[in-house]
Amino acid sequence: MLITFEGIDGCGKTTQIGLLSALMKEIGKDVLTLREPGGTEFSEKIRDLLLHSKDRLTPQSELFLFESARTDLVEKVVKPSLEKGTIVILDRFYDSTTAYQGYGRLIDLSFVKASNEIAISGVKPDVTFFLDIPLEISYERSNHRELDKIEKSGDSFFHRVIEGYKQIAKEEPERIVSIDGAKTKEEIFEIIKEKVKCKLQNEELKIINPN
């Protein structure tokens, strides 16, 4: 099973991933948590370039770097792990690219989605949790640390990203669970826990009754 978490910085992804990972281990599941970009030596190098390089990247260069990192992670880690029956939890996946590079950087959405399809090689999440917070809360939660290059992109950019996420969620309601990120971490985790529980039960039923 592949579970992904999406949302702008400060939405609480890291906290919820930690809680879910701990729960899965408690109930005896083999679980692997990863982040995007990252997860392989090559992808971590791209992450550093994207977030900390002093070079000015064009939106298209940024897009292709994200997709290169994603391809490496999918082929080397995600696919093999899923094939072994491991539950993979990803902090960001291709929805981030659609929201940030498509809606945020204003790259043609059909081009972004086509690039995503090439990079993921057919691997898609079983469920995606979108933690939705307004930009003001994101800034409040991030004001204690130094911002990376993308986080310095400005209000207009992030308003487009947020609206992009909402549109993506609207287009795929079966896969994407939208959650008010302003709720307490306990309230958010209850929603996540119930959804994952249902998904696990469905997966087990498929194994017992493959037809």
Q: Are 104 and 153 in contact (CB under 8 A)?
A: yes
pLDDT of residue 148: 83
Calculate the dihedral angle through the C-alpha atoms of 198, 36, 97, 161, rounding to the nearest 10 degrees.
80
Instruction: Answer yes or no: pTM beyond 0.85.
Output: yes
Q: What is the mean pLDDT of each run of 10 residues along the chain (211 residues)?
A: 97 97 96 98 96 91 98 98 97 98 98 98 97 94 79 93 98 97 96 95 60 51
pLDDT of residue 201: 86
Q: Are 133 and 181 in contact (CB under 8 A)?
A: yes
Buried b / exposed e along 115-131 (16+ C-beta atoms within 10 A) = bbeebbeebebbbbbbb
DSSP assignment of 18-69:
HHHHHHHHHTT--EEEEESS-SSHHHHHHHHHHHH-SSPPPHHHHHHHHHHH
**Could you tell me the two tokens for 208?**
């017992």
Determine the Cα–Cα distance for residues 77 and 85; give it in Å rounded to an integer.
Answer: 13
**Could you tell me the two tokens for 124?**
């898609």
pLDDT of residue 207: 46
Domains of the chain: total? 1
Domain at 155, CATH number = 3.40.50.300
**Could you tell me the two tokens for 160?**
């487009």
Determine the Cα–Cα distance for residues 107 and 113; give it in Å rounded to an integer.
Answer: 10
Q: Tell me the residue range of the domain where 153 lies.
A: 2-208
